[in-house]
Structure 1
Amino acid sequence: MHRTDLIRQMAAYNQWMNDKLLLAAARLDPAALVADREAFFGSILRTLNHLVIADTIWLQRFARHPAAHAALDPVRALPAPNFSDLDRYTELPALAVHRRWLDALIVAWAESIDDPDLDVALHYANSRGVVSDKDFFGLLAHFFNHQTHHRGQVTTLFSQAGVDVGVTDLLALLPEQGQVQG
Structure 2
Amino acid sequence: MSRTRHVCLMANYNQWMNAKVYAAAGSLPDEALTRDRKAFFGSILGTLNHLVAADIIWLKRFATHPANHPTLAALEQLPVPRRLDELLFTNFRELAAQRLWLDQLIIDWSASLSEPDLDHLLHYANTRGIPADRHFYSLLMHFFNHQTHHRGQVTTLLTQAGVDTGDTDLLFLVPNEPGAT
1:6 counterpart residue number: 6
Q: Deviations over 1:46-78 (max 9, x none)?
A: 000000000000000000001011010011331
Q: Deviations over 1:6-41 (max 9, x none)?
A: 000000000000011110011100000000001100
Q: How far did 1:86 drift? A: 3.1
Comparing 153-162 with 78-87, greater Cα deviation is found at 78-87
2:71 counterpart residue number: 71
- What code does the residue aligned with 2:36 have? D
Q: Deviations over 1:121-145 (max 9, x none)?
A: 0000001111011000000010000
Contact 2:3-2:115 within 8 A present in 1 as well: yes
SS in 2 for 1:147: helix
Q: 1:104, 1:128 → 2: CA distance?
A: 29
Contact 2:59-2:72 within 8 A present in 1 as well: yes
- What code does the residue aligned with 2:34 have? V
Q: Alignment length, in residue pairs?
A: 181
Contact 1:24-1:163 within 8 A present in 2 as well: yes
Contact 1:63-1:76 within 8 A present in 2 as well: no
- What code does the residue aligned with 1:32 have? A
Contact 2:55-2:143 within 8 A present in 1 as well: yes
- What code does the residue aligned with 1:24 have? A
Q: What TM-score, normalized by structure 2, do the two folds share?
A: 0.97
Does 1:95 find its partner at 2:95? Answer: yes
SS in 1 for 2:147: helix
Comparing 105-114 with 72-81, greater Cα deviation is found at 72-81
- What code does the residue aligned with 1:98 have? Q
Q: 1:23, 1:4 → 2: CA distance?
A: 29
SS in 2 for 1:11: helix
- What code does the residue aligned with 1:39 have? A
* Identical-residue share of aligned pairs (%): 57
- What code does the residue aligned with 1:61 have? R
1:25 counterpart residue number: 25
Q: 2:84, 2:152 → 1: CA distance?
A: 20
SS in 1 for 2:11: helix
2:138 counterpart residue number: 138
Does 1:178 find its partner at 2:178? Answer: yes
Unaligned segments of structure 2, at least 5 residues:
none
Cα root mean square deviation, aligned: 1.3
Alpha carbons of structure 1 residues 133 and 30: separation in structure 2 relative to 1, 3 Å: same
Does 1:120 find its partner at 2:120? Answer: yes
- What code does the residue aligned with 2:70 have? A
- What code does the residue aligned with 1:129 have? G
Q: Deviations over 1:104-131 (max 9, x none)?
A: 0000000000000000000000011110
1:62 counterpart residue number: 62
SS in 1 for 2:140: helix
Q: 2:123, 2:167 → 1: CA distance?
A: 37
Alpha carbons of structure 1 residues 22 and 15: separation in structure 2 relative to 1, 3 Å: same
Q: What TM-score, normalized by structure 1, do the two folds share?
A: 0.96
Q: 1:87, 1:50 → 2: CA distance?
A: 7
